[in-house]
A = this chain, B = another copy of it.
Amino acid sequence: MAADPKVINDKMAKRMYQPYLEAEWGFINHWYPALFTHELEEGDTKGIQICGVPIVLRRSKGKVYALKDQCIHRGVKLSAKPMCLTDDTITCWYHGFTFDLASGKLVSIVAAPDDEIIGTTGVQTFAVEEHSGMIFVFVCDEDWDEDVPPLAADLPLRYPENNERFPHPYWPDTPSVLDEHSVALGIHRKGYANWRLAAENGFDPGHLLIHKDNAIVHARDWALPLGVKPVTDQAIALIEDDNGPKGFLNRYYTDHYEPILENEKLGVKAQGTVPRYFRTSMYLPGVLMVENWPEDNVVQYEWYVPITDDTYEYWEVLVKHCKDEQERKDFEYRFENLYKPMCLHGFNDCDLFARDAMQNFYADGTGWNEEQLADMDASVVTWRKIASRHNRGLARKPKGVPGVLKDQSYRFAEASEGSFE
């Protein structure tokens, strides 16, 4: 590789990912994780926001429904004070506008059952799928009129079917959230940066430095290099199959990459003696897979879900095949006592810190022009181009929803009460 910094930073390169630079509010018409299964029990109603779209989720008779979380009448969130009078409807708590869960149609108004507006209008609905303990929503524009693409098209590559294409001699097949016996355990939380800064941190081969002092690294004596250097133009494999996921894969632990073990000038050497083989790949709309991480037979998925243009939901999910209840319990025990505190928090908290630390530089548009990228950023540039080519639409700056106007007095009031989220 050895990309000339002038090439990496030049304007021609930037032009190739211009759409990405306009994706402040995320990519619309894609599948995103919404909640964990355990966060939406029977009869629960919860509101979230993705790409600036407020969405209310409700589980009724086992099935999850997703509707736009904004009453058509006076615009309040249905989720602000959930009210469901029948199994197949959701009612706005304010004036009683009642919508069919499946179609979104306005089917009644509590105190005006004969109003002529009934049956003539409704709220947008969203496709939902639930797998391995996760609820996914297809977040689309109001005028989306195509078939909903398969969820698999917005998830990482699967194994064993890609074994020949991307061999992994150092670890067993990577589980998928779509596999029959998969269990997905994880956490999600809000980060205060644009979602793209989070996404770029996820697969960043140049940021290992921020993890060098992490307790898990030392506890396990992991032999992590200072960094990795692409040495052929095959180091990054593009994934652009017609009907499959779109992204790229870093061919770590092959001849295409060289680990950097020492910086003589600065007197720094890689430490640790136990190999920890892993591989990163990244897919639209913003999902990372770290294969064989943090341990054999486990995979870490991460999503960087846009909430607004300056907040994102950071999802960290570990997936494992559990063939029986005992294996599931063992996984849950290990998750609670090792993975969650030491990896998802201890290790990845550093990433959360790093992403938010970039926000000032990028928030006013300066960063995209002033950043000085280096060889290590080849995959960042690859991601920006792939994302520009294959996204199904740029989310528009929304109207009339939380987070558009940021300087409203009620936000200060919330902050002063310690309740701002």
Residues of A within 8 A of B (CB): 2, 4-5, 70, 72-77, 80-81, 85-86, 89, 91, 93-96, 98, 107-113, 115-117, 120-121, 192-193, 204, 206-210, 225-229, 260, 263-268, 308, 310-311, 353-354, 356-367, 370-376, 399-421
Contact = CB atoms under 8 A, between A and B. Distances in A.
Name the residue in A310, A360, A417 with the highest tally of chain B Cβ atoms < 10 Å from its Cβ. A360
Contacts of A226: 96, 110-111
Given A113-B264, A371-B73, A409 B361 contact: no
Given A109-B374, A265-B108, A407 B407 contact: yes
A94 B5 contact: no
A74 B371 contact: yes
A356 to B, nearest CB: 6
Contacts of A416: 414-421
B267 A85 contact: yes
Per assembly, the copies of the chain total 3
Given A226-B111, A374-B73, A116 B2 contact: yes
A357 B121 contact: no
Contact of A409 (B268, B308, B360, B375): B308
Nearest to A309: B409
B370 A400 contact: yes
Contacts of A93: 209-210
B408 A406 contact: yes
Contacts of A360: 75, 400-402, 404-405, 408
Contact of A268 (B110, B204, B359): B110
B268 A370 contact: no
Contacts of A415: 412-413, 415-416, 420
A364 B75 contact: no
Name the residue in A86, A98, A361 with the highest tally of chain B Cβ atoms < 10 Å from its Cβ. A361
A372 B121 contact: yes
A350 to B, nearest CB: 9
B112 A227 contact: yes
B207 A75 contact: no
Given A117-B372, A360-B401, 19 more contacts: A72-B372, A74-B371, A80-B353, A86-B267, A108-B263, A111-B225, A111-B376, A112-B229, A113-B265, A117-B375, A121-B372, A308-B409, A360-B402, A360-B405, A363-B400, A363-B405, A364-B404, A366-B399, A370-B400
Given A74-B367, A400-B360, A5 B207 contact: no
Contacts of A206: 95-96, 111-112
Given A111-B263, A356-B410, A95 B207 contact: yes
A217 B47 CA distance: 29
Contacts of A96: 206, 209, 226-227, 263
Contacts of A95: 204, 206-207, 209, 374, 376
A262 to B, nearest CB: 8
A403 B371 CA distance: 19
Contacts of A266: 85-86, 89, 91, 98, 108, 110, 113
Nearest to A4: B116
B408 A357 contact: no
Contacts of A419: 416
Contacts of A420: 412-413, 415-416
